[in-house]
Structure 1
Amino acid sequence: MLDDLDSSLEQLLTRELPDLQSSTETHVAISFEMPIDIKQKPAINLFLYDVRENMELRSNEWSLQRRANGTAVKKRPPARVDCSYLITAWANADDPQQEHHILGEVMKLLLRYRTLPEAILQGSLKGQERLPIAVGLRPSYLQSLGEFWQAIGGRPKPALNYMVTIDVPVDEESEEFPLVLDNRIQIRQGI
């Protein structure tokens, strides 16, 4: 499921930022690896650094899905999971202006969408009842961005913190049971 989210974000970037993909000279690679030494540059790096259940969006209400054959299936709602990305731009020859330009284009794009467009969803994210919520740019779950860069052995870089909330199914297909389709009340006399 997380790989489908990565693929969906890659699809969004390539579809909505065609100028960054226009030629082999300016082709900007999209990477999901740890942001220490990106090999293919220029690049946009989306590093998934935190995955956690969103307890505020948790629902305990079961749903009843009616089937055409007169049965129903009772299911728990999917868990809502926040996926946090640290997004950095990498340029040839450490050109900070090119990095800032790329990062600025990515920022404008991500702020444009409150949910991920259905057309870019890949794999298990396709056809979900709720579209993934693109929470946008927000404070990082990282305690200190400086400590993060030091811990991975890299130099500090400008970065965007981006969070997407996805549905994660928690139940396998439940057992079918028959529905009550009509009700009859019988009244007896003489009791």
Structure 2
Amino acid sequence: MFADLDKSLKNILANEMPKDYFSPRNTLLSIYFCMPLDEDIKEKPALNLFLYDVRENLELRSSKWSVERYKNQDGTNPVSVKKPPPTMVDCSYFITSWFAKTSDDFPQQEHQLLGEVMKVLLRFPEIPEQYLHGSLKELDLPVRAACLRPLPTQSLGEFWQAMGGKPKAMLNYTVTIPVPIEDREVEFPLVLESTFHLQQQNSPGG
């Protein structure tokens, strides 16, 4: 599922970024999903989307089950399947931009690219269906997204210290994906009709 999310994000960037970076015949920008280390970004210019945190979104937790109806191939013995709601999972990325350090203005180039990415992601509070890939598309459920969520300054400092102490400008981007709980389905027969028996009651003294 995480690989499908990576491909979905790559789809939205490749199709919505300015054509200076992507064109039908030529890809001028590489996209990576690795740790934000210069030695791991082989081809530049590049964007790197590092998945750094995965956790349940407790605010979106629901206890409401859904009921779906199914029929056999011959149309007989219809049944209903009761399914629990999906678990809503926040997948958070650090997005960084990378240019070769061949000119003095490479920091400005990185900032320009990061700004274009920000404008694209802010346009989509949900990832459009045409960009969803694999299992995310098959779910037929909205995939929400939020750009520029705040992070504690201390957490950022600790992160870059772990990366070698070379901080860069970054975007904090969170996508909330629905994860179905498939092993808790409950199947039961579907009630199609009800039968009522009416009995005449004798009047008193009759």
| Structure 1 length-normalised TM | 0.91
**Residue 187 (str. 1) matches residue 198 (str. 2):** yes
Alpha-carbon displacement from aligned partner over 1:86-143 (angstroms, at most 9, x marks no partner): 0000011171011011101000000010100000100100132321001222113784
What amino acid maps onto 2:81 in structure 1? V
The structure with the larger Rg is 2
- Cα RMSD of the aligned pairs, angstroms, is 2.0
Structure 2 unaligned residues grouped into runs of 5+: 73-77
**Does structure 1 conserve the Cα–Cα contact (< 8 Å) formed by 2:84 and 2:185?**
no
Report 1:8-23 matches (<5 A): 8-17=8-17, 18-22=19-23
Aligned residues: 190
- The worse-fitting range, judged by mean Cα deviation, of 142-151 and 179-188 is 142-151
Cα distance change on mapping 1:3 and 1:142 into 2, 3 Å = farther
Residue among 114, 127, 136 paired with 1:125 = 136
Which residue identity lines up with residue 164 of structure 2 in the other structure?
Answer: G
Kindly state the Cα deviation for residue 19 of structure 1 after the two structures are TM-superposed. 2.1
CA separation of 1:134 and 1:87: change in aligned 2, threshold 3 A: same
Offset at residue 171 of structure 1 (A): 1.9
Aligned match of 1:52 in 51, 55, 66? 55
Q: How does 1:40-119 map to 2 (within 5 A)?
A: 40-69=43-72, 70-93=78-101, 95-119=106-130
Higher mean Cα deviation, 109-118 or 120-129?
Answer: 120-129
Name the amino acid aligned to 1:19.
D
TM-score, normalised via structure 2 length: 0.85
Displacement, 1:182?
1.0
Tell me, what secondary structure is at the counterpart of 2:138?
coil
Q: Cα 1:171–1:141, aligned 2, differ >3 Å: closer, same or farther?
A: farther
CA distance, structure 2, for counterparts of residue 136 and residue 151 of structure 1: 24
